[in-house]
Amino acid sequence: MLVVAGVLMSACSGRPSSLPSTFTEVADSARIYPDYRDVTIPPNIAPLNFMVLDDAADAFVADLGGLVCGAGSDGKMDIDTAAWRSLLTAQRGKDIEVHIYARRPQGWVRQPGFTLHVAEEDIDPYVTYRLIEPGYELYYQLGIYQRNLTNFDVTTIYENDRDKRQGESHCINCHNFQNNGTERMYLHVRENHRGTVVTHGQEAHKILIKHDSIIASGAYGNWHPFLPLVAFSTNKTEQFFHFKYHEKIEVFDQRSDLLLYDAEHNEVRHIIRTPDHFETFPCWSADGTRLYYCDAKMPPAKVSRADLAVIASYDSLFYDLYSVPFDTATYTFGEPRLEVEASAQGMSCSVPRVSPDGRYLLYALALYGQFHLYHHSADLWVKDLQDSTVTAYPLTASNSPDADSYHSWSSNSRWFVFSSRRDDGDYTRTYIAYFDRQGQGHRAFLLPQRDPEYNLMLLKSFNVPELTRTPVPFGQLEMEHVIKHTEAELATYKE
């Protein structure tokens, strides 16, 4: 015990390094960023470095269940990873009490503490995301990265051009993995070098989904849990700014359908193709026998101009959640079934994701539309797929007043990561939340960074967080070779 205590006491690189011997208790709570108060954390998460925001103090000490960490006037707590690991191992399934001491002109004060709840279950150790400015039309430098959640290591899966070169710029987006593994993945490349990079084990190749009957190449996609199939939406997407409105921007589809891509045979076909319905955001069930998706009926035109018809009706587009059965032997689909009729309540669904244990359907719900990343009203909701007597409900503890949207489950169904704009309303950040066995989400916490100020300085958004159990076996060089130096193979369209 003494040895462990000794390790914990000397574990922090900050200053000062020990608890003050005398202090005064004060009632005002310490302001910390990120706000890690009373959150539930995985036992394998990286240190929750944070900074104390207190202009009146010039030094700080945090006591995290015996692990003492100090900070100077910048308030930045840099917790040693090894000591943190020991602490979490010892406290798995238990709580860690945190107290913060601040040195103010009148002396040391201790502020009311808070608790970190350490869950029993680990989270999948890798999250893959894209970093891009919250720009509305353009891109320049962007990349897809993989973060090891157990420490602060970040590896680059692919970054586009570092310099502006005519004919070379390209956008990358919408990566997805099969069943929380990295055996199969895909990512899209737009503009120059366009196509979709599809990987299988150590092999990667670029394909192109293009046909007269297809609106555009695949957009939002989801790998079948065990077959070499991807369900894609194909969308004609537009956006516009509000001059005076509580939302700043709208992203909407003028048209959309669903596609099935067979990676083994490089074939593509329509799943659903309708002129007056917008189908999007496909997602497979855990056993691969159903496909969930969002569907909105095109609202009656409010204006005579055809090109403005959907724009004028942007707030009348309500997406419901449907599912359609899938025969894994014949690759055929059955009749659609309504799962969540959000439109009946004047609401709209987006991004359905089934938990890997097959029990819960997690989706985003907002007042209208489908691009809820830009909707302040967007919250995460859950539908119990095994108990039809339970109506869908919001994950109140995990949600925030701002947009909470794009989400990904951990393979054990006990954690999910999601995109949230709760920090400042404009820059999307990756949040992590515990999902207990009663189907409730716990208070979410910001993906920890070595420098707790990182997210305040970063002028880019975290897009499309996807959890995986293993690291992606590809890096910049391999991806660059595939993207820039191989021709895309045109997928065969099957009627």
Partner 1 sequence: MSKQNRHQNHVIPGNQPGSHIPYFIVHNSYLITIFFLLSWAWASWWMGDVLRIAYERSFFATDVTLMHGLWQQSFGWLWFVGRALLTLYRWPLLGGLLVAVLLAAGAGLLGYCLRLSWRWRWVQFLPAAAWMFWTAHEGISLYYMHDAGRILIAPLLIAVISGLWAVVAKLTRRPAPAPGNSASGKVEWGGRRFPFALLFYSLFLLLLFIAPSLYLTHRHPYLRPLTRMEVQLLHHDYEGMSRTAHAHAELSYRQMAGFYAIALARTGHLADQLFDIKFDFEDIKGKSYFGTPNRCLDYHVVDCNYHAGLVRSALHYAILNLTSDGPSLHTLKYLTKIALIEGDWELARKYLRILGKAPFEGDFVRKYQPMVGHSELLKADAELSAVISSMPPVHVLENMYPKPCFLGYYAGQRFLGSKESQTWGAVACLYSKRMNDFLRFAQQYAGTMPPRSIAEGLVTQVSKYPELLKMFPQLNMEVNRYSLFLQEAEAYMQDPKGGSQALFQKYQGYYPYYYFFGNLPSKEQQEEQVQQEFNAGVN
User: Is residue 137 within the footprint of partner 1 (CB under 8 A)?
Assistant: yes
| Shorter beta-carbon distance to partner 1: residue 53 or 390 | 53
The yes or no reply on residue 153 touching partner 1 (CB under 8 A) is: no
DSSP category for residue 339: E
How crowded is the C-beta side of 82, counted as CA atoms within 13 Å?
9
Closest approach of partner 1 to the CB of residue 128, in Å = 17
CA dist 133 and 140 (Å) reads 9
Does 426 contact partner 1 by CB under 8 A? Answer: yes
For residue 232, the minimal CB distance to partner 1 (Å) is: 15
CA separation for the pair 495, 479 (Å, rounded): 32
Q: Which is nearer to partner 1, 310 or 361 (CB)?
A: 310
At 91 the three-state DSSP class reads helix
Kindly tell me which residue out of 23, 140, 145, 331 binds partner 1, with binding defined by CB under 8 A: 140
Please state, in angstroms and rounded to a whole number, the distance separating the CA atoms of residues 349 and 293: 9
| Angstrom distance (rounded) from CA 219 to CA 300 | 26
Under rule CB under 8 A, residue 155 binds partner 1:
no
Minimum CB separation from partner 1 for residue 350, in Å? 14
Contact with partner 1 (CB under 8 A) among 456, 489, 492, 494: 456
> How near is the Cβ of 294 to partner 1 at its closest, in Å?
17
User: Can you read off the two tokens belonging to residue 161?
Assistant: 């051009």
| 138 lies in the binding site for partner 1 (CB under 8 A) | yes
Minimum distance between the CB of residue 136 and partner 1, rounded to whole angstroms? 6
Q: Which is nearer to partner 1, 32 or 61 (CB)?
A: 32
Q: Give the closest residue to 371 by CA, choosing from 307, 443, 278.
A: 278
CB of 109 to partner 1, least distance (A): 24
How far apart, in whole angstroms, are the C-alpha atoms of residue 436 and residue 451? 30
Please state the φ and ψ torsions of residue 296, each to the nearest 5 degrees.
-125, 145
In 3-state terms, what secondary structure has residue 5?
Answer: helix
Q: Determine the interface stretch with partner 1 among 179-187, 223-231, 239-247, 353-361 (rule: CB under 8 A).
A: 239-247
Question: Is 375 a residue that touches partner 1 (CB under 8 A)?
Answer: no
Question: Which position has the token pair 């998706």?
Answer: 293
Distance in angstroms (rounded) separating the CA atoms of residues 103 and 112: 15
- The CB-side HSE value for 404 (13 A sphere, CA atoms) comes to 27
CA nearest 123: which of 382, 450, 360, 413?
A: 413
- Determine how β-strand 203-208 pairs with β-strand 489-490: parallel
Binding segment for partner 1 (CB under 8 A), chosen from 9-17, 135-143, 384-392, 470-478, is 135-143
Is residue 401 a contact residue for partner 1 (CB under 8 A)? Answer: no
Q: Looking at residues 296 to 315 of the shown chain, list those that interact with partner 1 (rule: CB under 8 A).
A: 308, 311
CB 129 → partner 1: shortest distance, Å?
13
**Chosen residue from 38, 58, 133, 357 binding partner 1 by CB under 8 A:** 133
Whether the CB-CB separation of 318 and 302 falls below 8 Å is answered with no
- Contact between 2 and partner 1 per CB under 8 A: no
- Tokens 């709208």 sit on residue: 250
Q: Count interface residues toward partner 1 (CB under 8 A).
A: 48
Among candidate residues 23, 94, 10, 96, the one with its CA nearest the CA of residue 60: 23
| 202 counts as binding partner 1 under rule CB under 8 A | no
In the stretch 313-352, what mask flags binding to partner 1 with x, by CB under 8 A?
Answer: ----------------------------------------
Amino acid identity of residue 451, one-letter, is: D
Q: Which of 166, 202, 386, 388 binds partner 1 (CB under 8 A)?
A: 166
Interacting residues with partner 1 (CB under 8 A): 132-141, 159, 162-166, 169, 171, 173, 190-191, 237, 239-245, 248, 251, 308, 311, 371, 423-427, 451, 453-454, 456-459, 461, 463
